[in-house]
Structure 1
Amino acid sequence: MAELPDLEVFSRILNRRYSGKTLEKIDVEVAGKLNVTAKKLKESLEGHQLSEVKRSGKTLQFHFGRDRILGLHLMLRGELVALGEKPPKFPVLIFHFKGGKGFAVTDMQKQATPTLGPPVNEVPDALELDYPVLKKLLEGKKTTIKTLLMDQKKVRGIGNSYGDEILYHAGISPFSIAGKIPDEYVKKLHKSIHSVLETAIKKIEKENGDELTGELRDFMQVHSAKLKQTPKGEEILSEKIGGRTSYYTKSQELFH
């Protein structure tokens, strides 16, 4: 699943490639997840210029004007593919811009979700989260910190992979009770959220260049079924938290 760093890089690539171009046609290949009819989507966007692509949490937002915004959640298997000589496999939406360029949203599971006119989301984005907000968010919470970080109704953008990386970087066990984490470690957690995500964005951006390639994970220090040890030589353990496999080490402090 694409997480915040992947989507941030995708938004920058899409902006470089397509912002300022006019959408000539949009093909709706799978309409099941649309919140409007295919006809309404086409009427709203075709013939309008793409002014900007923004990332918001785990979604991309395509701005075709002040009141013409298309939100997109790639879900578990959704991908972005630049149009080439061969037609894309498993297309959901295909964007054709004047001048012959374009890209497709593909998903073999047909779960990628486009939303015309997405509502404003007041939940803080992980990269915009400041320390006082994070501290207040954790206060009194009895859930595990890993579960809280992944809750898109509390913080937007962090998924399973980066949740593990952030907690390892902060030295906090994913099994820690959120409300029991002392201020010293909440401050570490705040710094780790920004450090891990911003570092990942830089690494993915360098690797991807101008290509809309899939998620990059080979730089991760703890979240990988292939890894047995961290770069420091610590044994990597795994266990299910909320139905998702979490990776951690014994060196991470447990607060409960």
Structure 2
Amino acid sequence: MWPLVAGVSLMGAAIAEEADARWVELAATDAAAWYGKTGSGRVTNVDGKKGNGYAYVYQLEDKKKHTYSYGQVVVLLESCPKGYGYVYYNDTQGQYVNKGQFVRFGDTVVDALGSAACASWDSETGKRSRVEAEGTWKVVATAKGTGNRFSLKTDTVRKAPYDGQQALHVLFAFEDVTADTTDYGEFVVPLADCRRGYGTVHELDFSGQQVSKSDFVLDGNSVISAIAANMCAYN
């Protein structure tokens, strides 16, 4: 998810000074580190809706240039109990800059930034908006040659309408082994396609917009057929 957070470098950089107890390290790579400002968390309004988001001030350290840049992280509160959503990056004046997908308790930088917002909100309310069970990610397909992996988050499987018919929905992760990145989305398979043994897998982003679609046969040898077979097992 590194490319998704690269956009924060658009925010004004300052000459680096040593971080102190006022900043909590949230995530780090060889090239950069992200910190949250202690006490900056607050419930906020997003898109004109009252109290539907949570924001905090962050500091991004460029380890090679020895500079810091600043901005705000915002998540929608509905993402916290659901377990996934978007991290929105604003500048210090609250203007939108970029966004990235996050999954609570995940391993990416964006996961850490979004999860920190939810944890801070939980601390304020005194309630745990989501409890994460262990072993909920299941690797269902590995691409030959590249070793890239698709995993399904089994505790997110649900039945809900899609395009006028009942369908199975599940959160997925795609790991690019060479690039060392993880991307997320939602797979959707109509229940009718599962029952007849062939059909279409729809890929959606976290806004519910279709990104792509692929045909499958449950006895097929393709990666998408393996994904569909694992999903249809929940039918």
Q: Hey, which of these two has a bigger chunk of strand by percent?
A: 2
Which TM-score applies when normalising by structure 2? 0.27
Structure (1/2) with the larger helix percentage: 1
TM score, norm. by length of structure 1: 0.26
